[in-house]
Amino acid sequence: MIGSTTMPQALDGARIDGGLYGDVTEFARHTQWLNGPAYTYTSYGIALFAVLLLVGWWVARRHDARSMAVALIAPFAVMAAYLANDGIKSVFLEPRPCRALPYDFLIEKCPPPDDYAFPSNHTTVAAAVAAALLLVDRRLGAVATVAALLMGASRVYVGAHYPHDVLAALAVGAVAGCGIAWAAGRLAVPMVTRLREGALRPLLIATE
């Protein structure tokens, strides 16, 4: 029909791994002792990743200029990963599992209908931080990686996301966080090297 518009087809997450999602939320139903800690971490744990970025900057003071450049670029790489993830959400328009499977056990309150599920923003941010910090310091990056995996698991456990939402978010965060931090970090090395010889030296290199 002339002048008609075609609405985008929303991704049906329940058909992809709704059964696995149900298994996880049913597990949550029978592990009430874990519900509180999981809800606290999934709701407020994102602040931990901000702290890890600060730790990354502090640790980078004892490393070379490349590590410091990546540490300084990392927050912007994380923001870029978040924006990319939000763009993906607007394309796939996947309804939250709490709407497609309303009888499954939920810990987190069901968000508004226009708050889509695929991929998980929380997990993307966590993965981007972890990926960037692996370029700064391997030990710190390993800690951040474990924290990111726990964040992803918590998003399914509380009923906010399907498993594939989390897996996709881990990929988006890792690619964007690592790729942008690595590329921009390399470009910023000469500038960081110069700044380390100026008034900002105490902020960019350990002097003790």
22-58 pLDDT, tens digit each: 899 999 999 999 999 999 999 999 999 999 999 998 9
Q: Is the pLDDT of residue 99 over 50?
A: yes
In a domain, 81, yes or no: yes
Q: Where are the alpha helices (DSSP H) in 61-200?
A: 65-92, 97-100, 121-136, 138-157, 163-195
pLDDT tens-digit map of 153-169: 999 999 999 999 999 99
Residue type, 4: S
pLDDT reported for residue 169 = 95
pLDDT reported for residue 64 = 84
Q: How many residues does the chain have?
A: 208
- Structure confidence at residue 3 as a pLDDT band (50, 70, 90): very low
In a domain, 130, yes or no: yes
- Structure confidence at residue 111 as a pLDDT band (50, 70, 90): confident
In a domain, 67, yes or no: yes
Number of domain units in the chain: 1
In a domain, 133, yes or no: yes
In a domain, 30, yes or no: no
pLDDT reported for residue 52 = 96
Give the pTM: 0.87
Domain span at residue 89 reads: 47-97+108-152+162-204
In a domain, 34, yes or no: no
In a domain, 136, yes or no: yes
pLDDT tens-digit map of 120-136: 999 999 999 999 999 99
The number of C-alpha atoms within 13 Å of 8 and in the hemisphere containing its C-beta is 10
pLDDT reported for residue 83 = 94
In a domain, 6, yes or no: no
